[in-house]
Amino acid sequence: MGGEPVVRVVVADDQRLVRTGFRVILGDADGIEVVGEAADGVEAVEQAVALSPDVVLMDIRMPRLDGISATRSVVARTSSRVLVLTTFDSDEYVYEALTCGASGFLLKDVPAEHLVTAIRSVARGDALIDPSVTRRLIGRFTRAIRPEREATSGIPARLSVLTARELDVLRLMATGLTNTEIAQRLVVEESTVKTHVGRVLGKLELRDRVQAVVLAYETGLVSPQGDSPHP
């Protein structure tokens, strides 16, 4: 573990077998400890408040309180970060999960090693969206948002605080590229990309990378097809 603190996790899912499976997978991973389980959204919030885990693995469809509402409550009441896991890859679920404060979204069929990596990433303060759902999310909701945007060939007003290079980084972030991939695309060091990402989040007063991605599409900086309408 290299001296790194243990990542404490609460698993929230209404199926006992699923919770057991996650516990087994995470129990085999170095530096991760499952400290609690919840069978519904109400219990998920209670566990997050009582145990202050680093990450809550949150199912979408649960009794008493759905995962979206539970996520909103956990984010509002605790410092825990929420990683949504579901078999339902509906665009609406993804969008709602991210806009209510989730730090990431993965499908339950993700390989075990990817789940472990995702938990560690979210615990560090990063954010992620499963690549298999990113483009559909983008396409559906930017089509709904697009008519409300101002017809302009310039940079959206909210993004005017960014430099040209920071805008480049934000565009590439919005297409789902990692810092390493962005560095390769821009032919710069990965540390330089991390600096730019931090400045983007700071200038735009955003919590994390997910909020930056949502904003990039809502403002029209990037189109559903991955093209940038604003040069």
Q: How far apart are CA 44 and CA 92, in angstroms?
A: 21
Mean pLDDT over residues 173-192, rounded?
A: 87
55-58 and 128-129: which strand pairing?
Answer: unpaired
| Domain made up of 137-218: CATH architecture | 3-Layer(aba) Sandwich (3.40)
Res. 120: pLDDT tops 80: yes
| 203-209-214 Cα angle (round to 5) | 90
Predicted confidence (pLDDT) per residue in 122-149, tens digit: 888 776 766 655 555 555 555 554 444 4
Positions of CATH 3.40.50.2300 in the chain: 7-129, 137-218
Torsion of CA 87, 25, 128, 121, to 10 degrees: 170
Mean pLDDT over residues 97-104, rounded?
A: 81
Least confident of 11-15, 83-87, 211-215: 211-215
What fold is seen in the domain 7-129? Rossmann fold (3.40.50)
81-86 and 7-12: which strand pairing?
Answer: unpaired
Predicted confidence (pLDDT) per residue in 108-117, tens digit: 888 888 899 8
Q: Compute the mean pLDDT over every residue in the chain, rounded to the nearest whole number.
A: 82
Largest CA distance in the chain: 53
